[in-house]
A = this chain, B = another copy of it.
Amino acid sequence: MFFASDNSGPVPQQVLDALAEANKGYAMAYGADALMDEVRNTLREIFEAPEASVHLVATGTAANSLALATLSQPWQTIFCSPVAHIHEDECNAPEFFTGGAKLTLVPGADKMTPEALRGAIEGEETRGVHGPQRGPVSITQVTERGGVYTLDELRALTDVTKSFGLPTHLDGARFANALVALGCTPAEMTWKAGIDAVSFGGTKNGLMGVEAVIFFDPRHAWEFELRRKRGAHLFSKHRYLSAQMSAYLRDGLWLELAQKANDNCAHLVAGLKEAGAEFLHAGPANMVFPSFPRATHRRLMAEGAVYHLWGAELDGGPDDEALPCRLVCDWSLAREEIDRFTKMVAQG
Contact = CB atoms under 8 A, between A and B. Distances in A.
A279 interface: no
Nearest to A29: B7
A130 B90 contact: yes
A329 interface: no
Given A26-B306, A102-B103, A240-B208, A230 B93 contact: yes
Interface residues of A, number: 73
- Determine the main DSSP class of A at the interface with B: loop
A74 B58 contact: no
A91 interface: yes
A235 B97 CA distance: 17
A185 interface: no
A9 interface: yes
Which of A76, A88, A89, A100 has the largest count of B CB atoms less than 10 A from its CB? A100
Interface stretch (A17-25, A146-154, A187-195, A291-299): A17-25
Interface in A255-281: none
B209 A237 contact: yes
B7 A61 contact: no
**Number of this chain's copies in the complex:** 4
Given A88-B131, A132-B91, A226-B133, A23 B11 contact: yes
Given A92-B74, A93-B230, A102-B92, A236 B7 contact: yes
Contacts of A237: 7-8, 203, 208-209
A9 B209 CA distance: 21
A29 B5 contact: yes
A236 B29 contact: no
A229 interface: yes
A234 interface: yes
Given A2-B26, A7-B29, A234 B59 contact: yes
A230 B75 contact: yes
A171 to B, nearest CB: 13
A165 interface: no
Contact of A8 (B16, B27, B92, B96): B27
Interface string A333-347: 000000000000000
A28 interface: yes
B7 A25 contact: no
A100 B91 CA distance: 10
A42 to B, nearest CB: 21
A54 interface: no
Interface string A1-16: 0101101111100001
A127 B88 contact: yes
B7 A232 contact: no
A284 interface: no
A100 B95 contact: yes
Nearest to A131: B88
Contacts of A76: 92
Given A2-B26, A99-B99, A131-B91, A231 B232 contact: yes
Given A25-B10, A131-B91, A96 B234 contact: no
Given A92-B101, A129-B234, 5 more contacts: A4-B26, A88-B127, A91-B226, A208-B237, A231-B232
